[in-house]
Structure 1
């Protein structure tokens, strides 16, 4: 959309008029006008898939940044041994699809995101980690994960949710 339409949709009355004409105003993006801060994750709720990489490497880093870290496993959410309510809203999600070895593992990708639709906050950041695989089945898994990520971007993009896929060849690429 053009900038003039975005500016016109800022006042609540104008947003209402645009909706009456069938024009959906784009979501307002959060802009930062202050200097970079080390506490950028402070107070944010981050959702991770329960893989050893996240539990050993990423989770301690996020906790040092004073972010609340949650792990999602098979439709169940848990933080430090206690269940989270369905009203919990997350500002960031990281999913590790690099552990997928067979096509049956792709069900885990769907089951992770199924039901989280209402818990992804405004201007949510979603990252799917994907490994480059060899062989016909491996390449099919890699392409399926990327296709699913594109589908998530089409579904969540109009709501102001940013979806990215990060493809890497080995764990050393990810750690650097």
Structure 2
């Protein structure tokens, strides 16, 4: 159990998963993989996105690259990108797709779109997919607050006192 800034963090390790709690509430659960037992790897692609964005070409040589694909559509897209684009373009595109899926919560919808593109024999256009799936930044309305003169408060206090 860890205590950081008055919040209590607790981890429970089970044979098949790791559960993380914050002040008694489950905030994260992740499956465990044991190389010795069954040669599985429990990797979450979201944990690697920011590092891969800095060096997208590292994706091609990553030892556990195939474990990073969240769905089959992403793996098939990578295979097509790798054969039809330069190494640099292919890596940059797949890392961009993984970022879009992971950071914007559109993993399943994007996978469906990738399947449709693959079926049509087309490569994904990262800019077009970002425009379609990434949330747009909403402009905050400008709020103007006009403060009344202090004399108004004095009048209110006089009325309350009377």
TM-score range, shorter chain: under 0.3
**Which has the higher Rg, Structure 1 or Structure 2?**
2
TM-score by length of 2: 0.24
As a proportion of its length, which structure holds more strand? Answer: 1
TM-score by length of 1: 0.22
As a proportion of its length, which structure holds more helix? Answer: 2
* Larger RCO of the pair (alpha carbons < 8 Å, separation 6+): 1
